[in-house]
């Protein structure tokens, strides 16, 4: 082999080795991983609740840093909104694509730009704090959503809320005497929807750190209020169209935000939210009883108070008060008291303490006797609640009642439950007090009878009223400027839930055909009418719905049915639906708005 060929082979081998080393270096430096991340841009806005009455935000949380690094490593977008009384005054935006390194920096200083950006943004985040009194949390989230509204399609968009969730200013104000901290979450959100105060979170994921992590002088929330606060924000977020909601279990710093945390800056005041217990009392039945030694006595407890549109938590912890204890006298977790033969005490006190609020308890005095007590007498039956209103869909279709047998000489707390008037065999009552309403229940009023097993002549009846939730508004889509379904299978699926609704109601439906087209029929009304008629025919021929239960109406370009006309926020309305093109909107004939739209009087 000639020297020239040897030199060529050597050069080629050298080039191959150099290229291999470069590839190995790029692999170990994460070069290809960085390129992959940059093709998956993230946009993240942090809503910061650094203010008085809060535990300090844990910025060292790995889950929090993951959110920040997601945007930094993809050179996407990062925004900050401070949730004080005027969040619009503290909004900060960073388009990280402007900091994307060139190829040489990327090779010789791998991750250097990302680390510098992360450190700088984290420092900024730690220094952002309230400057104005109070906390307008909902408004801050609305502003955060607006920041993300202009981001390009395909980006992962996320709002990260850092704070207690206790808003003291704006549309959601827990301090203004409305008792919203104890209000049913659905009722509260319905009120916000009615005034058009929900954030537009379509396509945005929401993560929440350190909800209800409060600091002095704000009182800690009892468990029911903590759960209700979580449910309120979950419903607000999901009703706003978010793709998901996640409560992140991040441990807060042990310190609280006070006037020294951001020294020399003074943190403005925040109103303290009055937190009352939902539990007002506990009653033990029987309140006095004579129990023979060597026998047992069942006890029952009724927890009273006000709830969140649902039942008061009835869980109690049972205990026997006062020494000396007797090892064989036992009170179990269900309230069953067994008195030992050898228990020489004359009296014992039984305590039932509310689990929801352990500060509140009830008691009963039990006298220990040797001879059998006189026979019980049943004088009445107490049931809580005295009337029920239930729905046919979860979570409104299940309820637990609480029953107490009243009388003299410790009447047995045993009873039977019977349900009358139901049409759906799946509507039933269990002997543990659990009521379940079937999905196809057509009755509007049921009767629940509670009968004493000890004295069957003693019973009480309570009404159960049934309401039906209107199915969600659905979209049936059409091809171009025609009344032809894009997908007949999708159209059948879309209307099927309404078929069940019609068949279980003494009512009908309105079909409103919508189009943005101006060329068909002059205004599009004709095209809208044709589309509504197409859905009507589908219901009649495919599902055997009676034609007299369906009314159709076409809505067109000069008869717009959209958000500026003030009809959003109604029970059967999705504010983006009727403003769209090529769809039919289905509404209950009992809906007042639907009646107004059909008759042209809803303006």
CATH code of the domain in which 390 resides: 2.60.40.1930
Q: What's 205's domain CATH number?
A: 3.40.50
User: 182 lies in a domain?
Assistant: yes
Domain finish residue from 340, 373, 406:
373
DSSP code of residue 520: T
What global pTM score does this model have?
Answer: 0.50
User: 260 lies in a domain?
Assistant: no
| Same-domain pairing of 10 and 120 | no
Query: What confidence tier does 104 reach under pLDDT thresholds 50, 70, 90?
Result: low
What's residue 285's pLDDT? 86
User: 270 lies in a domain?
Assistant: no
What's the mean pLDDT in 199-225? 86
Domain finish residue from 434, 467, 500:
467
Domain count, the chain: 5
| Same-domain pairing of 455 and 438 | yes
| Same-domain pairing of 429 and 499 | no
Q: What's 324's domain CATH number?
A: 2.60.40.60
Classify burial at 224, counting beta carbons within 10 Å of its beta carbon; exposed 0-12, middle 13-18, buried 19 or more: buried
| Same-domain pairing of 123 and 217 | yes
What's residue 111's pLDDT? 60
| Same-domain pairing of 137 and 114 | yes
User: 266 lies in a domain?
Assistant: no
Q: Supply φ then ψ for residue 309, to 5 degrees.
A: 80, 5
Query: What confidence tier does 601 reach under pLDDT thresholds 50, 70, 90?
Result: low
Buried residues in 42-60 as b, exposed as e (16+ CB within 10 A): bbbbbbbbbbbbbbbbbbe
Domain finish residue from 373, 407, 433:
373
Length of the chain counted residue by residue: 603
User: 261 lies in a domain?
Assistant: no
CA distances from 311 to 130, 187, 471 (A): 38, 15, 25
What's residue 561's pLDDT? 46
| Same-domain pairing of 28 and 52 | no
User: 255 lies in a domain?
Assistant: no
Distance CA 162, CA 247 (A): 11
Distance CA 394, CA 242 (A): 21
Distance CA 335, CA 312 (A): 18
| Same-domain pairing of 73 and 178 | yes
Query: What confidence tier does 138 reach under pLDDT thresholds 50, 70, 90?
Result: very high
Distance CA 305, CA 313 (A): 9
What's residue 22's pLDDT? 54
Q: Supply φ then ψ for residue 560, to 5 degrees.
A: -70, 140
| Same-domain pairing of 91 and 133 | yes
What's the mean pLDDT in 54-77? 87
Query: What confidence tier does 355 reach under pLDDT thresholds 50, 70, 90?
Result: confident
| Same-domain pairing of 236 and 108 | yes
| Same-domain pairing of 173 and 297 | no
Domain residues for 412? Answer: 379-467
Q: What's 573's domain CATH number?
A: 3.30.1330.60
Tokens of 168: 């003291």
Distance CA 186, CA 180 (A): 11
User: 253 lies in a domain?
Assistant: no
User: 330 lies in a domain?
Assistant: yes
| Same-domain pairing of 426 and 536 | no
What's the mean pLDDT in 210-227? 82
Q: Which of 84, 269, 86, 273 is nearest to 177 (CA)?
A: 273
| Same-domain pairing of 32 and 85 | no
Tokens of 196: 């058009």
């Amino acid at each position: 082999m000639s020297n020239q060929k040897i030199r060529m082979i050597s050069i080629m081998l050298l080039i191959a080795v150099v290229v291999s080393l470069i590839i190995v270096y790029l692999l170990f430096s994460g070069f290809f991983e960085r390129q992959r991340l940059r093709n998956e841009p993230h946009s993240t806005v942090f809503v910061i609740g650094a203010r008085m009455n809060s535990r300090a935000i844990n910025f060292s949380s790995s889950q929090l840093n993951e959110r920040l690094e997601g945007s930094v490593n993809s050179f996407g977008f990062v925004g900050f909104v401070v949730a004080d009384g005027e969040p619009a005054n503290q909004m900060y935006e960073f388009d990280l694509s402007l900091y994307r390194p060139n190829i040489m920096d990327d090779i010789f200083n791998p991750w250097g730009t990302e680390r510098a950006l992360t450190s700088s943004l984290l420092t900024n985040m730690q220094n952002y704090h309230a400057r104005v009194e109070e906390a307008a949390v909902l408004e801050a989230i609305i502003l955060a959503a607006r920041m993300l509204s202009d981001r390009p399609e395909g980006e992962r968009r996320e709002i990260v809320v850092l704070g207690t969730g206790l808003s003291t200013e704006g549309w959601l104000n827990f301090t203004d005497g409305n008792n919203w901290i104890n209000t049913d979450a659905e009722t509260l959100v319905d009120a916000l929807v009615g005034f058009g105060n929900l954030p537009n979170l379509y396509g945005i994921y929401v993560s929440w750190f350190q909800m209800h992590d409060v600091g002095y002088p704000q009182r800690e929330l009892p468990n029911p209020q903590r759960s209700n606060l979580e449910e309120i924000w979950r419903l607000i977020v999901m009703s706003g169209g978010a793709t998901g909601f996640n409560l992140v279990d991040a441990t807060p710093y042990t310190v609280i935000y006070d006037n020294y945390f951001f020294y020399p800056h003074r943190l403005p005041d925040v109103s303290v939210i009055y937190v009352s217990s939902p539990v007002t009392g506990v009653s033990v039945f029987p309140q006095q009883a004579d129990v023979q030694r060597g026998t047992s006595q069942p006890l029952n407890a009724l927890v009273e108070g006000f709830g969140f549109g649902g039942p008061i938590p009835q869980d109690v912890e049972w205990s026997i008060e006062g020494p000396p204890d007797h090892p064989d006298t036992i009170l179990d977790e269900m309230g069953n008291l067994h008195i030992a033969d050898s228990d020489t005490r004359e009296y014992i006190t039984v305590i039932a303490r509310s689990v929801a609020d352990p500060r509140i308890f009830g008691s009963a005095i039990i006298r220990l006797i040797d001879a059998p007590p006189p026979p019980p007498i049943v004088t009445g039956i107490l049931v809580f609640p005295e009337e029920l209103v239930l729905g046919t869909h979860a979570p409104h279709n299940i309820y637990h009642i609480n029953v107490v047998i009243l009388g003299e000489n410790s009447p047995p707390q045993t009873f039977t439950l019977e349900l009358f008037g139901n049409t759906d065999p799946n509507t039933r009552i269990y002997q543990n007090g659990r009521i379940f309403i079937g999905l196809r229940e057509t009755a509007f009023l049921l009767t629940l009878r509670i009968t004493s097993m000890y004295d069957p002549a003693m019973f009480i009846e309570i009404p159960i009223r049934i309401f039906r939730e209107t199915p969600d508004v659905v979209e049936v889509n059409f091809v171009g400027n025609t009344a032809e379904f894009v997908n007949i299978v999708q159209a059948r699926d879309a209307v099927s839930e309404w078929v069940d609704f019609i068949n279980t109601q003494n009512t009908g439906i309105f079909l409103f055909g919508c189009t943005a087209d101006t060329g068909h029929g002059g205004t599009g009304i004709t095209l809208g009418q044709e589309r509504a008629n197409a859905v009507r025919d589908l219901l009649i021929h495919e599902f055997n719905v009676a034609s007299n239960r369906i009314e159709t109406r076409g809505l067109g370009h000069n008869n717009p049915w959209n958000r500026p006309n003030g009809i959003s926020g109604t029970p059967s309305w999705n504010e983006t639906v009727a403003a769209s093109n090529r769809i039919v909107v289905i509404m209950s004939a009992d809906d007042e708005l639907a009646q107004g739209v059909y008759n042209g009087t809803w303006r």
